[in-house]
Amino acid sequence: MKESATLALTWVRSNASELNALFRGTTTSPDDGDNPFLAVGERTDLHLHVPAGAVPKDGPSAGVAIVATLVSLLMDVPIPTEFAMTGEITLRGRVMPVGGVRDKVLAAHHANIKHVILPARNKCDIDELAPEVRLGPGAMRFSFASRIWDVLEILFHDKLVVQVPGLDSSRRIAERVVPPHLDSAL
């Protein structure tokens, strides 16, 4: 968990100018005092406390959620409550597949979460879910991300000033609103 938090913070810091441009429409120089992403560790003290972080896990899966939380905190833009997410990130911002997707999605379903963001390479795990979770009128919605930029666009699409570079937003939006059982009809 500590590694996930450190990696997330490092990614946010190293992409400070791009993140600031997405939300504010301005690029900044490394010494710009108006970029909240650059302030972390310099003018802003940040402590990530994860109470169960000392408990050994099968593998990392919190990087995506930590990056999303840091961006939400620094831009003062809340993450919509209908979302749950899992996935680990690399220093280059790739979203890596995780284990236990079935259990994580079922936990989200029991908590009345309607939309889950998963690593793109975990798309095949959706087939393991019960039909009432993935089909029908009350079905959960799933979005699949291969980059952390995809996750930020899915979560904050209506708050971004500019479009995420290299993102085909029509494809992402289709994934966001169409349940998997209708995906083949598109």
Separation CA 180–CA 184 (nearest Å)? 8
Q: Strand pairing partners for 118?
A: 144
- Our answer to whether residue 17 is catalytic in this structure is no
Selecting among 17, 29, 57, 104, the annotated active-site residue is: 104
- Our answer to whether residue 2 is catalytic in this structure is no
Composition of the chain by helix, strand, coil, percent to 5? 45, 10, 40
Separation CA 40–CA 37 (nearest Å)? 6
Q: Can you tell me whether residue 177 is helix, strand or coil?
A: helix
Selecting among 2, 14, 29, 61, the annotated active-site residue is: 61
Catalytic residues: 61, 104
